Amino acid sequence: MNFTWWVNRKDPDNQNLFAGGFLGLDNIGVFDRSAKLPEGGTMHQSDGTSWMCFYSLTMFAIAIELAGGVNGSPVIEAYEDMASKFFEHFVQIVDAMNVHGGTGLWDEEDGFYYDQVKCGKTDEITILKSRSLVGVMPLIAVSVLEVERIENLPGFKKRLDWFLKYKPSLRQHMTHRKSTKHDSSEAYLLAIPSEDRLRRMLAYILDENEFLSEYGLRSLSYHHHCMVVYHFHLIEIFSLNVWQVLVILLLNSLIFHFR
């Protein structure tokens, strides 16, 4: 119910780019997202969209676990169908973030994800080029899908095979790791950024003139150090927790790519 509410209420243009909803990150953005934009229009949120992608993957993982088919246990088709549903949501959101309108919310010149404002009268798109936690949040949506697990769920496998055949763009968002003599497991990495885009984002995250500091990782890049800074104790605490989650999930991506 909660997932459906977010999908139906916070995707105003029906493009799988989300605008609105309280994430606890609202004061990191350029605008107060609890209020309407000054001149109207819609803001396509990098962090809000990433959160929904993460939400989809989490529900997908739960459905896969509940679907059974392990160690001779029966496959529960209802959960297979739910896994397919959340997988489709993941695919659509990732496609929107990376491809919609040409490059989605990704800025190829900078190598970073940014919020965008769509003018209500002209539909003109303005990119909000402030490097902050907002643009790092796409790293939160990542999951490893073992091929062996897929083989045990024929209904879901059929749906996945259909996507791979008729939606070739999906392959851009799924990194396939084949088995080797050192590692017999075969798997897919489901994530928003490709390996190339991940590397470009890491260049900012690990740069002391950007996000990296002697005290940890900044929520706003040092690139904007001349801006006025306001301190909100609650947001600082939340940001720390988000960075902890991001680091853990980022390690999953790095381990997958370098295995």
pLDDT tens figures, 164-216? 888 777 776 677 666 555 666 788 888 899 888 999 999 999 999 998 888 88
Contact (Cβ atoms closer than 8 angstroms) between residue 126 and residue 117: yes
Tokens of 194: 């490709």
Of 3, 16, 8, the closest CA to residue 173 belongs to: 16
Q: What local confidence, expressed as pLDDT, does residue 10 receive?
A: 60
Please work out, in degrees rounded to the nearest 5, the angle formed at the alpha carbon of residue 95 by the alpha carbons of 106 and 55: 95
Q: What local confidence, expressed as pLDDT, does residue 177 receive?
A: 67
Quickly count: other Cβ atoms within 10 Å of residue 124's Cβ: 10
Q: What are residue 117's DSSP bridge partners?
A: 43, 126
Contact (Cβ atoms closer than 8 angstroms) between residue 17 and residue 96: yes
Q: How confident is the model at residue 111 (pLDDT cuts 50, 70, 90)?
A: very high
Would the pLDDT of 112 be above 80?
yes
Residue at token pair 């949506």: 141
Q: Does an H or E element contain 212, and which?
A: strand 212-213
Q: What local confidence, expressed as pLDDT, does residue 80 receive?
A: 93
Would the pLDDT of 143 be above 60?
yes
Would the pLDDT of 96 be above 50?
yes
Q: DSSP class of residue 122? A: T
Over residues 81-86, mean pLDDT: 92
Tokens of 10: 């916070």
Q: DSSP class of residue 39? A: T
Q: What local confidence, expressed as pLDDT, does residue 84 receive?
A: 92
Burial class (CB in 10 A: 0-12, 13-18, 19+), 87: buried
Most confident of 13-17, 54-58, 167-171: 54-58
Contact (Cβ atoms closer than 8 angstroms) between residue 142 and residue 152: no
Q: How confident is the model at residue 48 (pLDDT cuts 50, 70, 90)?
A: confident
Strands (E), the chain: 42-44, 106-107, 112-113, 115-118, 125-128, 142-146, 174-177, 187-191, 212-213, 216-217
Which pTM does this prediction carry?
A: 0.81
Contact (Cβ atoms closer than 8 angstroms) between residue 201 and residue 136: yes
Would the pLDDT of 66 be above 90?
yes
CA-to-CA distance for 65 and 51, rounded, in angstroms?
21
CA-to-CA distance for 256 and 241, rounded, in angstroms?
23
